[in-house]
Structure 1
Amino acid sequence: MWLRASCSLEFNAPVATPFILMLRPRSGAQQWVAREQYVLTPSVPAIEFADPFGNLCQRLTSPEGPFSIRTSADILAADHVDTAPGAWFIEVQNLPESTIPFLLPSRYCESDRFSTMAASLTAGYQPGYDQCTAIVHYIRDTMQYVPGTGQLIISASEVNERTEAVCRDMAHLGIALCRALSIPARMVVGYLETLQPMDLHAWFEAYVGNRWYTFDPTQNDLSGGRVAIAYGRDAADVALYNQFGDPLEILDMSVTVERLNQPPT
């Protein structure tokens, strides 16, 4: 399907403020970016670079006063994600080197604290994809997805003590549990066409059966187009913007995703 995904951010900076942005999706195996618009108001010089995970980042300094960022992209995306019940577990010694960072504990995914719990939750399941599915079912059964309540980023250990969470938190717990089983897992931030209420969304991917597969504890099914913007070990790697200096309040943020009836021209 063709999707048009847009994001708008508005700030009022008391002083010139350095930013690193991560708002540009890149083409890959699961999506193709056909058209992009990226507008900074007022216009300022920006330098683009790719971070260690291949995410497209923009480095700039906003001027004092009002500053807005508006992005839009037309993207060819799948109308559902691939599933593979029974996909096998890849032994650590056989994993591609690129997956190793997603096997280790990270700031918000303390997988070294979840070994016993992960083993208990997945007992009796075939190693690999089916273990990931068991983890997702546990998160859904024990935690209510409550959009808009996660102002502070919390770790998987903290999430596991709660009964309500946002998508980012639930992804952190899923990632930590997968890694505790020696399954590489990474966080994804992007757009989901069917998300209600509409906002940016977070889910996770696990590496089994020699490829990455999507898992989303917040959604009962995986239909609807997804557009990935950023991949990382946890939320610390996939912030859509980082500003430096005195804290800067965001005045407004809006996200829209619409399906196009025909390819963009």
Structure 2
Amino acid sequence: MQRVVSAAIDLEVAASADLVFCVAVAQSAPLSGERLTFTRGDRQYTATEIVDQSGTRLHRLTAEAGPLEVRYDASVRGRAGATRTSDLEAITYLRPSRYCPSDEVFGQARRQFRGLDGHELVTAVGEFAATSITYTPGLSHGTDSAATTLMTGQGVCRDYAHVVIALLRAMDVPARYAACYAPGLEPMDFHAVAEAWLDGSWYVVDATRLAHRASLVRIATGRDAADCAFLSYHGAQVGLQSLRVDARVVDTPPPAPSADDPAALVQLA
């Protein structure tokens, strides 16, 4: 399966600022082509690439005041190979984090999923999030945690992922957050899913069910959305003028989200 992904980001930088972008596909992705540019008028910036322990590729640069255009295009063919997860990573993904306060939802998780474990537990948590949350763009806030989403019952992909992660961690299952490109997603945007550690491998849980998991392309991996933002900055105000994301399957008919069995074990490409 070949997937073509792209992102176009237009920013207005108020003064000299340190910018860190997370839009390139992860190091493990089988790339057949890639282009990433940062331009301001006739000037082109060169970013420093930093790769974290999970293979997330960050691109850092210092931009001066004014407009900045970021353009990314990549072609990904096939599926990524499995990457090793250390004991330290597994421990990290058991702990509460900013948006996934598993300690706050511990009681609910233990009541809701008592007696379940393994594949059955992961499937039950995904089903609970899918049926308990209404996908409502624009109504959740960037500061909402899994506990907030469980109370309001509404959110977007990041909120679904946070709920799944928090509940799994509360049930002693390591769980992590993945940002990705998602062919077929509607409305098109960066997408977020959860991953659960089961029998020595990571498996995708996408409670939104808005994209087929087999077509997803990993961008970043972390404890929650705080680790996987497409842009972070320091030193000055940065305004987002526009954001356009695209992801397509180009060599075969794109798999329909409805054809993805939520109970099937699927690994992120």
**Contact 1:20 1:58 (8 Å CA) reproduced:** yes
Residue aligned with 1:112, SS: coil
Distance in 1 (alpha carbons) for counterparts of 2:251 and 2:131: 37
Q: 1:149 to 1:254 in 2, by over 3 A?
A: farther
Provide the residue aligned with 1:85 in structure 2: none
Task: Determine what percentage of the aligned residue pairs are the same residue.
Answer: 30
Offset of 1:151 from its aligned partner? 4.4
Amino acid of the residue matched to residue 195 of structure 2? E
Offset of 1:33 from its aligned partner? 1.5
TM-score, normalised with respect to structure 1: 0.86
Amino acid of the residue matched to residue 25 of structure 2? P
Offset of 1:223 from its aligned partner? 4.9
**Contact 2:106 2:170 (8 Å CA) reproduced:** yes
Residue aligned with 2:209, SS: coil
**Contact 2:13 2:236 (8 Å CA) reproduced:** no
**Structure 1: where are the runs of 5+ without partners?**
79-94
Number of residue pairs the alignment of both structures matches: 243
Distance in 2 (alpha carbons) for counterparts of 1:45 and 1:191: 24
TM-score, normalised with respect to structure 2: 0.84
Amino acid of the residue matched to residue 101 of structure 2? E
Provide the residue aligned with 1:184 in structure 2: 174
Residue aligned with 2:125, SS: helix
**Contact 2:99 2:145 (8 Å CA) reproduced:** yes
Q: Determine whether 1:227 maps to 2:227.
A: no
Amino acid of the residue matched to residue 54 of structure 2? F
Provide the residue aligned with 2:11 in structure 1: 11
Q: 1:10 to 1:16 in 2, by over 3 A?
A: same
Amino acid of the residue matched to residue 231 of structure 1? T
Amino acid of the residue matched to residue 56 of structure 1? R
Deviation beyond 6 Å, 4+ runs, structure 1: none
**Structure 2: where are the runs of 5+ without partners?**
80-85, 253-269
Q: 1:222 to 1:44 in 2, by over 3 A?
A: closer
Provide the residue aligned with 2:33 in structure 1: 35
Q: 1:50 to 1:223 in 2, by over 3 A?
A: closer
Residue aligned with 2:22, SS: strand
Residue aligned with 1:193, SS: coil
Residue aligned with 2:229, SS: coil
CA shift digits 1:162-221 (9 cap, x unpaired): 121111011111100000111000000011112101111001000011100000010077
User: Counterparts of 1:67-78 in structure 2 under 5 Å?
Assistant: 67-77=68-78
**Contact 1:139 1:174 (8 Å CA) reproduced:** yes
